[in-house]
Amino acid sequence: MRAEIFLCLHRSLFLSWENIIKENKLEKSFYQIDQKQLATDLQTDLKEGLSKTAAAERLSQNGENALTAKKKKSLLSKFVDQFKDLMIGILLAAAFVAALTGEQTDALFILAIVVINAIFGVFQESKSENAIDALKKMATPKATVIRDGLAEQVPATNLVTGDLVSLEAGDVVPADLRLVDVANLRVEEAALTGESVPVEKTDKILTDGKLALGDQRNLAFMNAHVVYGRAMGIVVATGMQTEVGQIAGALQGQDETKTPLQENLKSLSKVLTYLILAIALLTFVIGYFTQNMPVIDLVLTAISLAVAAIPEGLPAIVTITLALGTARMAKKAALVRKLPAVETLGSTDIIGSDKTGTLTQNKMTVEKVVLKGEIVDLSVQNPFESADLSTAANRLADVMALNNDSQFTAEGLVGDPTETALIDFNEKYRPEQLALLRKQERLQEIPFDSERKLMTTIYGADEAYQVTVKGAPDAILSRVKNVWDKDQIRPLTDEDLASYQKMNGDLADQALRVLAFAEKSVEHLPAEAKSAEMEADLTLIGFVAMIDPERPEVAESVAQAKAAGIRPMMITGDHPQTAAAIAGRLGILEEDDDRDKTVMTGAALDELSDESFEKRVEDVKVYARVAPAHKVRIVQAWQQKGKVVAMTGDGVNDAPALKAADIGVAMGITGTEVSKEAADMVLADDNFSTIVTAIKEGRKVFSNIQKALQYLLASNLAEVIAIFTMTLLGWEVLAPVMILWINLVTDTLPAIALGLEPAQPNSMQQKPRGKTANFLSGGVGPAIIWQGALQAAIVLTVYGLALAFPDHSGTALVHGDALTMAFMTLGLMQMVNAINVKSVHQSGLNASAFKNHFFNAALLFSLLAMMAVVVIKPLNPIFHVTNLDPYQWSIVIAASLAIIVVVELVKWVQRTFFNRG
C-alpha cells in the first residue's frame, strides 16, 4: 500500500484492519506514523506483541497472509476455447449441412480435423503450464513472531495485522512491516523496487510527503530478503493488502493483450468468411437461374465451395508451427506459456528491460581498486603484475577479509552483497590466505551505522592489536594520518589527499560504489572500543570500486537487437547515474546521447501529461527510479504509437508491465512467481541473450506461417475458381469429399513441413514488421492470387481437354475420367507448388531447396496418398473417381509439374526487371 492506507485512533472494540481503514481516514502513510501511535492504532504492544487470542480472531476475520492465485482453466474450458475461432465455426456449419444432405463422409472428415486441432491446442497449453509450474518453489516460509511476550515460529500465512515480527539476516520478510527497533538492518528489495544494492533501514519516523517504495526506509516489504542486521517490526499489511499483493490483484483484473498473430488471424478469418458467403451465394444464384440445377445439388456445390475456400488446416498448421517453435525455444532455455508469444517476439519493435538481474548479474563485484595512488582496472590481464602492486593488493585483501561479516555456509557464501564481493576478490587474488584470516578471532568491533559511515574490527596480533576500518571514502579520509606505500607507512600529504578525493569522484561518476580501507595498530585492547579512539590516526590502505556488472553477453545481444531494428530500453528502480552507466556500457545509451533527454526518472515522468510524454517517449532510452505504474505507462505510450512492445523482468514490480506488454518475458531462476504468472514467456537461464535468440525464432515462425498460408490460400483459391467456373460452364463439379481429401492430404504434412524451414539468412538484418504488417504483406498476397489463378487455369484446361478428346482408349464414363483427371491434377499440383512458396521471389530450386528432409518426406508421402485413392480401386467409389490409364496419368503429371516451370519463369522476370527479392 503506497500513500493510500490510513490509520485510526484507538477504539475500545476491535475492528478488522480493513474496517479501520474505511472508517478512520487520517491522511498519513505508515512511514509517517510514530511507532507508538501505530501500536496504539493497531491495538498491539511494542514488547509483548498480540495475544494469541487476538491473533486467532484477526486471522479468522481477515484470512491468511497469502496471495490469492487466479483460478486456472479446466481442461473442458480449454477445449471449448479452441472452437471460438470464426473459421472453425464455418467448418462446423459446413459439417452440419453436409450431414443433413446425406454426405456423412464429408461431415466426419470436417469434424475430425476440427477436433484434432482442438485436442492439440489443449495439449500444448497444458504442457506449457506444467513447464512453468515446475519452476515454482513449494516451500512455505516461516516467521518469528512475538505473541504474549514469547517468541515462536509460525507459518508466514498465519501472520495478522498488528503482529510483532522479528527479522534477522537470511530471513525473508513475511509481510509488510513498519520497523520499530532496528540494528544495522539492510534489506535487499530488488524484486520490488529494482534497487540493486541492499537498502539500509531505520525505525525513525519519515515526515516527507509521497515517497517512492525504495525511499520508505522504515518499512520492510513482503518477499524482500534481510541480508544484514536485525530488527523488530509491526505487521501493517498481509496477503493481498501488501505491496506485492496489490500488484498481484491488479494483474488478475487486467485484460489479456491480443498478439499481432491473433489479430492477423482474426482479420483474415473475417475476410475469408465474407468471401466464402459471397461466392457460395453467387454460385447458388447462378446455378439456380442459369443452369436450372436442382436445389440439393446447389446446396452440395455451395458446401464444396465452402470447404474449398476455408483453409481448414490453417488453425492446426499455425498451432503446430508455433508448437514446433516453442519446442526449439525450450531447448534454448525459453519456456513459452502462450503459443502466440513465439510469433509476437518476431514483430517486436521495443524491448523494455529491467536492469537488476536481467541486464546485470545481480551480484556486486569489485571492478577497480585504488592502490599506491593509482586506479587499477581488474578487467585487464594480471592487474597486479608488478611486485609493488602485488604486495599492496595483498595488504588490501587482508583488511577486506578481516573487516567482513559474511559467512560460509552449506548453501555457499551468505551476507551483505557488498561484503560477499570483497570475499570473492580474496578468493580470486589471495585464496591461500583467506582461510587463515577467517580463523582469526575478532576481539571487538564497532558496527556500521549511517551517521559514521564506518565499520571497525579489532583482532589480536603477535606484538599489538590490529584495527581495521572500512567505510565511505570521505569518512575514512577525514580520519587518515598516514598512507601505506611501497611496504612502508608515510605521512599523508595534502597532494595525496587531493589525489584520493579526485579518484573517489571519478569512480563515483562511473556509478561505481566506492569503499575505503584503513588500519592501524594499538598496543592495548580497550575495555570498550569507541569510535573517537579506534577510528582516528588511521593508515590508508586503498579504495575498492564495486558495481553490479552487466552480463557479459548482453552487450552483443543489444547490438544484434539494434541491427534488427529493435530498440532496447532500460526501465529500472535504480538510481539514474547507476542506470545510465550500465546502459552506456551495454550500448543502450551511446556516447553522443544527451543524458538530459535520454535518461528520465519516475518523478520527472509524473510531471508530464500524457500528451507531453508522447512527444518525449521516442527520445528516452533509460528510465530510472520508476514505480510499477510508470512501467505500465511507458509500455502503453509505445503501444499508442503502434509499436509492438516486449517487456522483460524478474521482480514483482515488473509484473504489471509484463502483463500490459504485447509480450512479457520473465526470468525463471531469479524471477518471482508473480512475474512468471504475468509473463507470456519465461527464460529458464535468466539470460538476456536468449531474448535475441527468441526474436530470431519468432521471425522464422512468422515467415514459415506466411509460407504455409501462401501455400494453403493459393491452393484453396484454385479450388474456388475451378468449382465456380465448372458451375458456370455446367460441368460436373468436384464433390465435397474430393475437396476435403485434397485439403486433408495437402494441408497437413507439406504445410507442417514448411513450418520447419530454416530461417532466412538475413532475417536479423531486417526491420521489425510491426503491427501494421500482416500475413499477406511482402508480396505474399499477390503471389496467392496469381498462383491460385494459374493452378485453376491448368486444372480447367486438363478437364476441358479430357472432355473434348474422350476416345483415346475407348473407355466409358467420360465425365468420370475428366473429373478424376481434374481432381488428381489439382491435388498433385498443389503439393508441387509447396516447393515454389519457400520464397516469394527467390527460386524454389536453389541449392538449399531440399535440405529440409522432413519436407522431402512429407511431400513424397502426400503425393503417394493423393494417388492412392485412384490407384487402389476399392477406394474409387468413396471418392467418386475412376481408375486412370497411363496416358491419362501422363497428362496429369505433366500438368502438375507445369506449375514449377511457370512460377520459376515469373520469379525470374520479377527479379530481373522489377528488382524483387
831 vs 331: CA distance, rounded Å: 31
Query: Is 532 in contact with 526 (CB distance < 8 Å)?
Result: no
CA-CA-CA-CA torsion sign (551, 666, 655, 248): negative
795-809: b (≥16 Cβ within 10 Å) or e: bbebbeebbeebeee
Residue 853's Cα: distance from chain center in Å?
32
Quickly count: other Cβ atoms within 10 Å of residue 532's Cβ.
6
Which residues lie below 8 Å from residue 194, measured CB to CB, with a gap of 6+? 214, 354, 355, 356, 572, 573, 574, 626, 651, 653
Show the cell assigned to 619.
527520445
The one catalytic residue in 171, 354, 416, 574 is: 354
889 vs 14: CA distance, rounded Å: 92
- Our answer to whether residue 354 is catalytic in this structure is yes
Show the cell assigned to 845.
530450386
Which residues lie below 8 Å from residue 116, measured CB to CB, with a gap of 6+? 316
880 vs 869: CA distance, rounded Å: 10
Show the cell assigned to 915.
528488382
597 vs 471: CA distance, rounded Å: 34
784 vs 795: CA distance, rounded Å: 16
845 vs 610: CA distance, rounded Å: 53
Query: Is 359 in contact with 589 (CB distance < 8 Å)?
Result: no
Query: Is 116 in contact with 316 (CB distance < 8 Å)?
Result: yes
Q: At what angle do helices 417-429 and 387-402 cross, to 10 degrees?
A: 140
Phi, psi of 177 (to 5 degrees): -125, 140
Torsion angle (degrees, nearest 10) of CA 197, 199, 200, 202: 180
Nearest CA-CA partner of 159 in 44, 238, 241: 238
Show the cell assigned to 902.
511457370
Show the cell assigned to 48.
509483548
Q: Please report which helix (H) or strand (E) contains residue 629, including its range.
A: helix 628-640
CA-CA-CA-CA torsion sign (571, 572, 578, 583): negative
193 vs 537: CA distance, rounded Å: 40
Which residues lie below 8 Å from residue 728, measured CB to CB, with a gap of 6+? 286, 290
Which residues lie below 8 Å from residue 382, measured CB to CB, with a gap of 6+? none
Nearest CA-CA partner of 128 in 313, 335, 375: 335
Q: Please report which helix (H) or strand (E) contains residue 785, including its range.
A: helix 780-804
DSSP state at residue 157: G
Alpha helices, DSSP H only, in 313-430?
A: 314-331, 340-346, 387-402, 417-429
Show the cell assigned to 510.
562511473
Alpha helices, DSSP H only, in 510-609?
A: 531-534, 554-563, 576-586, 595-598, 602-606
400 vs 377: CA distance, rounded Å: 18
Q: Please report which helix (H) or strand (E) contains residue 911, including its range.
A: helix 886-914
Amino acid occupying residue 476: I
630-654: b (≥16 Cβ within 10 Å) or e: bbbbbbebbbeeebbbbbbbbbbbb
Catalytic annotation, residues? 354
